[in-house]
């Protein structure tokens, strides 16, 4: 069964109930997840809590009292969204995205990060509630969600995972927020997981990523495939790309992920110069949603956004370099205080 067909089944199961694991049997999946959990224990934990990065970024573009005021960015998800593994707040992906968004928009960005290490998709409803907080004036202009890895390793049924994610996206969209989802990363890149289990881990996580895309694009959100985005860099330069636990990304690893998400984040707010034109020189295309979701799951950094009817745009936006090593701000800027932006260069 093709990945596109499996993703359609999972997404349909999320919408209407039912659904299964597709081609990968339950026994095989159980073996994969046991191996992934063993990998987690092998590399170790003990990183503590991620640094808090909430606050105002790009204050040189004006204070919160100036019209039209700062853009509001919300971050939701698991340890990747929280930035577990780095010591400085400004090295977290949320802070890097806030700095990059401020530089592109030339406008301050107020960041609020409610992501929690270890979170699964069943925590998204609580996180959305924290962001919306019953105050329409504080609704984020745009939200980034990074979720899915813990759903796979803790054996949440993929239909339930997608259903919970789409419910969270729906709430944010109805409240008036643009939404960008970083889909489930490729668990086949975890070094202590060996073949053939690595192939199975890759297959299960990519199936979930494709189904996530099908579910949220229908609600007007955009997705960016995390896939094996960090895999090649980790393999080539593990001392720099891994954090101290040899499992979560380092500052360089998070900067790589932020660099992939930033163009789509800006495009969601109409700030990216490329807009939504297709560039055939970068193999961009308009495809049926299931086919585009499948293709994106297999190619990290790929964006999927709705076009018309059942058709979506498959895009490979030019990235802006985010220099995590230049970030030296204090570890936890308080809301409403100034903080310097990360170093952002022009299109790559």
The three-class DSSP label of residue 193 is coil
Sign of the Cα torsion 38, 233, 117, 201 reads negative
Q: What distance in Å separates the CA atoms of residue 173 and residue 179, rounded to the nearest whole number?
A: 7
Radius of gyration, CA atoms only, the chain: 19
Please indicate whether residue 294 is annotated as part of the active site. Answer: no
C-alpha span between 116 and 86 (Å, rounded):
15
Tell me which DSSP letter residue 227 carries.
B
CA 41 to chain centre: 24
Evaluate whether 300 touches 215 at the Cβ level (below 8 Å): no
Q: Which of 54, 78, 186, 248 is catalytic?
A: 248
The first and second tokens of residue 154, run together, are: 């803790």
CB 76 within 8 A of CB 143: yes
**228 among known catalytic residues:** no
Q: What is the Cα–Cα distance from 20 to 13, expressed in whole angstroms?
A: 8
Quick one: three-class SS letters along 307-339?
EECCEEEEECCCCEEEEHHHCCCCCCCCCCCCC
The one catalytic residue in 245, 276, 285, 343 is 245
Which token pair is 341?
């932006």
Cα–Cα distances in angstroms (integers) from residue 217 to residues 44, 279, 314, in the given order: 36, 20, 12
Task: Find the catalytic residue in 54, 78, 79, 294.
Answer: 79
Q: Of 211, 217, 206, which Cα lies nearest the Cα of 169?
A: 217
For residues 301 and 260, the answer to whether their CB atoms sit within 8 Å is yes
Q: What angle do CA 191, 76, 211 make, to 5 degrees?
A: 65
Entry field: residues in the chain: 348
Is 245 known to be catalytic? yes
Residues 6 or more apart whose CB falls under 8 angstroms from that of 328 comprise 88, 90
Q: How far apart are CA 28 and CA 79, in angstroms?
A: 26
Any idea which residues carry the catalytic annotation?
A: 79, 245, 248
């Amino acid at each position: 069964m093709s990945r596109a067909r499996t993703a359609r089944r999972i997404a349909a199961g999320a919408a209407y109930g039912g659904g299964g694991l597709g081609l990968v049997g339950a026994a095989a999946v159980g073996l994969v997840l046991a191996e992934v959990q063993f990998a987690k224990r092998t590399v170790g934990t003990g990183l503590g809590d991620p640094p808090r990065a909430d606050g105002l970024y790009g204050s040189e573009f004006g204070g919160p009292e100036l019209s039209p005021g700062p853009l509001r960015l919300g971050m939701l998800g698991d340890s990747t969204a929280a930035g577990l593994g780095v010591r400085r707040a400004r090295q977290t992906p949320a802070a890097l995205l806030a700095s990059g968004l401020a530089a592109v928009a030339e406008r301050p960005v107020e960041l609020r990060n409610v992501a929690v290490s270890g979170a699964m998709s069943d925590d998204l409803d609580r996180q959305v509630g924290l962001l919306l907080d019953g105050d329409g004036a504080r609704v984020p202009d745009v939200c980034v969600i990074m979720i899915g890895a813990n759903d796979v390793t803790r054996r949440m049924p993929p239909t339930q995972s997608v259903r919970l994610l789409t419910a969270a996206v729906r709430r944010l969209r109805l409240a008036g927020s643009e939404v960008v989802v970083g889909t489930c990363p490729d668990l086949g890149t975890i070094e202590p997981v060996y073949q053939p289990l690595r192939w199975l881990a890759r297959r299960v996580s990519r199936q979930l990523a494709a189904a996530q895309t099908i579910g949220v694009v229908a609600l007007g959100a955009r997705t960016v495939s995390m896939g094996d985005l960090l895999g090649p860099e980790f393999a080539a330069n593990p001392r720099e790309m891994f954090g101290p636990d040899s499992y979560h990304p380092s500052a360089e690893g998070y900067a790589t992920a932020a660099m992939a998400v930033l163009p789509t984040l800006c495009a969601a707010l109409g700030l990216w110069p490329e807009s939504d034109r297709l560039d055939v020189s970068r193999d961009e295309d308009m495809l049926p949603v299931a086919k585009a979701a499948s293709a994106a799951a297999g190619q990290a950094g790929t964006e999927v956004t709705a076009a018309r009817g059942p058709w979506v745009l498959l895009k490979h936006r030019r990235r802006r370099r985010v220099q995590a090593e230049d970030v030296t701000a204090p570890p936890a800027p308080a809301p409403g205080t100034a903080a310097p932006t990360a170093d952002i260069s022009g299109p790559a």
